[in-house]
Amino acid sequence: MKTSPIQQVKANFGDKAKLVSAVQSLATDALWLDRVNPDKGLGKVSNTKLIRLHAALSRAKEEFGSRDKLIGAVLSLGKRDKDEGYKARLATYPVPRLLDLHDSLSPSSRAAAAPAAKVEGKRKARSKKAKLKAA
């Protein structure tokens, strides 16, 4: 059975305040576009979103180090290194969206999807008469 978000927060961080402080420590200028309402802050964001945001920021920091390097990786995977307009548009995307884009462009995701498509392509719907004829 899957644990609820509050159970995950308690197990991994202790309480929501520690989770918020962990997200704020990861949310440096190198990784974070500040789009949070300044009146409410991160304390009013749901536990599920905070957990997902913490995971995305941690992964981006470990794998790439900064948003600029992540954007560069997306550009190189898409073979659009010199496209300044696309780079400017990617600069407006939040980190989780950039990570999803990177994952969709990476060769490992394409390789995992290719065998599944080949297996489905081999199956053909046949009537009883066609099955007897083929056999």
Q: What is the pLDDT along the chain (135 residues), one digit of tens a residue?
A: 888 999 999 999 999 999 999 999 998 888 888 888 888 888 899 999 999 999 999 999 999 999 999 999 999 999 999 999 999 999 999 999 999 999 999 887 666 666 655 555 566 667 888 888 877
Residues 29, 59: one domain?
yes
22/51 same-domain check: yes
The verdict on residue 124 lying in a domain is: no
Helix/strand/coil percent split, the chain, to 5: 65, 0, 35
| C-beta neighbour count of 6 within 10 angstroms | 12
Q: Is residue 100 part of a domain?
A: yes
Domain boundary among 27, 47, 63: 63
How far apart CA 126 and CA 40 sit, in angstroms, is 60
> Is residue 122 included in any domain, yes or no?
no
Q: What's the CA gap between 33 and 105, in Å, rounded? A: 23
3-state secondary structure of 60: helix
- Check if the beta carbon of residue 99 is closer than 8 Å to that of residue 70: yes
Map residue 25 onto helix, strand or coil: helix
Q: How many domains does the chain have?
A: 2
45 and 76 both lie in a single domain: no
Dihedral sign (CA 59, 101, 74, 82): negative
From the list 67, 81, 83, the residue with the least C-alpha distance to 32 is 67
55 and 1 belong to one structural domain:
yes
Q: What is the extent of the structural domain holding 84?
A: 66-113
Tell me, what's the pLDDT at 20? 93
Based on DSSP, count helices (H) and strands (E) in the chain, helices before strands.
Answer: 8, 0
Query: Is residue 14 within 8 Å of 57, Cβ to Cβ?
Result: no
In a domain, residue 93? The reply is: yes
Q: Are residues 34 and 72 in the same domain?
A: no
Domain identity same for 57 and 103: no
Q: 81 and 108: one domain?
A: yes
